[in-house]
Amino acid sequence: MSAKQLLFAFLMGMISSFAIGDGAIEINQSCVDVSCFNGEDPGFPINIQSPGLYRLTSNLSLSSIERAFIIETSNVTFDMNGFTIKGSFFCDGSLPLCSPESGEAGFLIDDDLVNITIRNGRFDGMGFVAIAGNRIQNLKIQDVEIINSDSGFSLSGDGHGVIERVQVSRVKRRGGNVGPGFIVRDSLFVNNGQQGLLGGYCSRNVFRDNGDITGSPEQACDELVDANYCNNLPC
């Protein structure tokens, strides 16, 4: 092989390394069954105890009251990579009438953490909540769908962050509730039992057919800006 060919092969190897070698820690159903991390018991919950980038490489199936992930440290990015965390809860019909009683959760985030991102995936059938945390600073939830759940996302306290391009539908209670430090934008809330969203600074969202089961309003944002729509009319 000539020197030019050797150089080309070396450069192609470097490009491949950059393309796949982003340092992400892969998590899938197979590793859950045997233990995803050294020293951790098999099964759920999976405890995220080290900062870094995590990535799903398969769907995950929860049963009964299992929690998929507990994030215990700051500076975590979790890429769901287009996959679904699936539980047993299901809401049917024009009103969110749901069964069975269960308690699955997607992500529970420890109090007071900083720089948490959850993105690019689907939660289906969470009998408790898809994402929950208290006083989280710089939280990002992006490109996430939540369906057939007891509650969508619950982010209490004086945290702050951005929730964008989220779709929440057929949730028994609120589609989401957030503290005043959160921006919720470019998102869709449809056919949830209570308000589509409680709290937050709301921008360019669509609310439709929320609150029918309880007589609640479509939304109860702290502030509405930039063309939010409720049942096809400006909120």
Please tell me the predicted confidence (pLDDT) of residue 20.
42
- 159's CB contacts (< 8 A; 6+ apart) are 133, 134, 135, 136, 137, 139, 179, 181, 182
Strand, helix or coil for residue 108: strand
Please tell me the predicted confidence (pLDDT) of residue 93.
65
Q: Is residue 7 part of a domain?
A: no
Distance CA 56, CA 24 (A): 10
Count of structural domains within the chain: 1
**Domain interval for residue 144:** 23-234
Please tell me the predicted confidence (pLDDT) of residue 230.
97
Q: Is residue 87 part of a domain?
A: yes
- 154's CB contacts (< 8 A; 6+ apart) are 129, 131, 132, 133, 174, 176, 177
Q: Is residue 3 part of a domain?
A: no
Q: Is residue 34 part of a domain?
A: yes
Q: Is residue 5 part of a domain?
A: no
Q: Is residue 40 part of a domain?
A: yes
Distance CA 219, CA 119 (A): 24
Query: pTM (2 decimals)?
Result: 0.89
Please tell me the predicted confidence (pLDDT) of residue 94.
62
Please tell me the predicted confidence (pLDDT) of residue 79.
98
Q: Is residue 13 part of a domain?
A: no
Please tell me the predicted confidence (pLDDT) of residue 95.
64
Contact between 102 and 61 (Cβ < 8 Å): no
| pLDDT string in tens for the chain (235-residue length) | 454 443 333 333 333 323 346 799 999 999 998 989 888 889 999 999 999 999 999 999 998 889 999 999 999 999 999 999 999 999 886 667 888 888 999 999 999 999 999 999 999 999 999 999 999 999 999 999 999 999 999 998 899 999 999 999 999 999 999 999 999 999 999 999 999 999 999 999 999 999 987 888 999 999 999 999 999 999 9
Q: Is residue 107 part of a domain?
A: yes
Q: How many CB atoms lie within 10 A of CB 37?
A: 14
